[in-house]
Amino acid sequence: MVDDAAEGTKPAGGGDATAATSRYGTAALIGRPNAGKSTLLNRLLAEKLAIVSEKPQTTRHRIVGILTEPRGQVVFFDTPGIHRPLHRMNRLMLQEAEAALQAADVVCLLVDAAEPFGKGDAYMLELMDRVKTPRLLLLNKIDLVKKSKLLPRIAEYAEGGRFEELIPISAATGDGAERVLDAIFARLPEGPPLYDPELLTIHPERFLVAERIREKVLEQTAQEVPFATAVLIERWEEDTAKDLVRIYASILVEREGQKKIMVGAGGSRVKAIGVAARADLEEFLEKQVFLQLHVRVEERWRENARILAELEREAMLGGSGAE
């Protein structure tokens, strides 16, 4: 992580990387919502960096994860799922995904093998046809598919020769993960690392904390409410004498009705979110956490350029971190 977030962070991958790193580069994880991109990122890093939820559109920013090991360094871009944008926020999400697609040395298209091929998958293949860098097809969730149904899916995606490798994987179990890393490293250019080998990510702690709180919001809410929520860190106070951090955060919603749902009867839901989030944050930050959550109505915040810019600043406050 960046300097203000690096304490307690171990180098990803367990390698003892030095200037002798032989290969470096970037790999974009691209796919439709719920294809398993964030689960795969966490699996490859052997760390929980990206939040994970069964709800689509969980990832809203390009999440940067850095894996350094003796054979080199991969900078992963975990991208928002490709979907039809309904709000300014969603359009920005797609811009993040497309920018990662163009910037990466290797592009990995994740496909949910348990779902039938549809129009969205056809669009993803059209998108891949515009990519000039090496492309890998990762057929995910094979643990949920019978082999007799998996083989036709592999043959379907093999048509056209657009992918250099087709790799069946299960991000949830780790099956195929090492093969994915081998395929990516084989296609990276030679040279020094892009980032300090000690870094796991370039995102600041404030953003990662807000994301973990939002993960608990997603777990506790249903229907349209999760899509209309965001988390902003309002204040962050370190008490070094007590090894304690005080975090004051706002959960944004768009309507009063959503606020009532989020707060719950007698404050029960927001309290449950806070309890779950605090336990997670204490493990993540390795210190005591005082967490205060406030539910705030911001009408049409997903169309509000100021709020969206504030959320983006929170995500990238750490800067590039490049050597």
pLDDT digits (tens, 9 = 90+) for 92-121: 988 888 889 889 999 999 999 999 888 999
Instruction: Give domain status of residue 121, yes or no.
Output: yes
Contacts of 234 (CB under 8 A, 6+ apart): 248, 249, 250, 294
Residue 192 lies in a domain: no
Q: What is the CATH number of the domain that holds 257?
A: 3.30.300.20
User: Smallest Cα–Cα separation from 185: which of 21, 29, 77, 71?
Assistant: 71
**Cα–Cα distance between 36 and 34 in angstroms, integer?**
5
Least confident of 184-188, 202-206, 264-268, 312-316: 312-316
Lowest model confidence (mean pLDDT) among 153-167, 231-245, 283-297? 153-167
Residues 175 and 67 in one domain: yes
Average pLDDT score, the chain = 89
Is pTM beyond 0.85? Reply is yes
Residue 190 in any domain: the answer is no
44, 150: one domain: yes
Query: What are the CA-CA distances from residue 20 to residues 17, 72, 245 (Å)?
Result: 7, 8, 38
Question: What pLDDT does residue 225 have?
Answer: 87
Three-state DSSP string of the chain: CCHHHCCCCCCHHHCCCCCCCCEEEEEEEEECCCCCHHHHHHHHHCCCCCCCCCCCCCCCCCEEEEEEECCEEEEEEECCCCCCCCCHHHHHHHHHHHHHHHHCCEEEEEEECCCCCCHHHHHHHHHHHCCCCCEEEEEECHHHCCHHHHHHHHHHHHCCCCCCEEEECCCCCCCCHHHHHHHHHCCCCECCCCECCCCCCCCCHHHHHHHHHHHHHHHHCCCCHHHHCEEEEEEEEEEHHHCEEEEEEEEEECCHHHHHHHHCHHHHHHHHHHHHHHHHHHHHHCCEEEEEEEEEECCCHHHCHHHHHHHHHHHHCCCCCEC
Instruction: Based on the fold, state whether residues 13 and 143 are members of the same structural domain.
Output: yes
pLDDT of residue 252: 97
pLDDT of 45 higher than 80: yes
In this structure, the answer to whether residues 135 and 282 fall within a common structural domain is no
Short-list 293, 279, 314, CA closest to 248: 293
Q: What is the pLDDT of residue 317?
A: 57
Mean pLDDT computed over 301-312: 93
Q: What is the pLDDT at residue 287?
A: 96
Whether residue 181 is found in the same domain as residue 299: no
Q: State whether 44 and 174 are in the same domain.
A: yes
CA pair distance 201, 321, nearest whole angstrom? 9
Tell whether 216 and 91 lie within a shared domain. Answer: no
Mean of the pLDDT values across residues 290-316? 94
Local confidence band at 179 (pLDDT 50, 70, 90 cut-offs): very high
Q: Is the pLDDT of residue 200 over 80?
A: yes
Confidence of residue 267 (pLDDT cuts 50, 70, 90): very high
Residue 4 has pLDDT above 90, yes or no: no
Q: Read off φ and ψ for residue 293, nearest 5 degrees.
A: -110, 140
Evaluate whether residue 322 is within a structural domain.
Answer: no
Domain boundary among 185, 219, 247: 185
Same domain, 219 and 141: no
Handedness of CA 200, 201, 205, 211 (dihedral sign): negative
pLDDT of residue 322: 38
**Structural domain containing residue 170:** 3-185
Let me know: does 291 contact 278? Beta carbons within 8 Å. Answer: yes
Q: What pLDDT score does 86 carry?
A: 80
Pair of tokens at residue 274: 């806070």
User: Considering the domain boundaries, does residue 178 fall inside one?
Assistant: yes
Q: Report residue 306 CA to chain centroid gap.
A: 23
- Domain presence at residue 321: no
323 in any annotated domain: no
Give the mean pLDDT of 32-45. 96
pLDDT, position 160: 83
> Is the same domain home to 299 and 220?
yes
Does residue 199 belong to any structural domain of this protein? no
Structure tokens at 18: 């030095």
Q: Find the mean pLDDT for residues 260-287.
A: 97
The total of structural domains in the chain comes to 2
- Looking at the structure, tell me whether residues 233 and 151 fall in a common domain: no
Give the pLDDT score at 222: 85
Residue 197: pLDDT band (50, 70, 90) is: very high
180 and 224 housed in the same domain: no
Segment 170-174 mean pLDDT: 97
Which CATH number is 153's domain given?
3.40.50.300
Q: 98 phi and psi, to 5 degrees?
A: -70, -35
Q: Is 203's pLDDT higher than 70?
A: yes
Q: Does 238 share its domain with 269?
A: yes
Is the per-residue pLDDT at 80 higher than 70?
yes
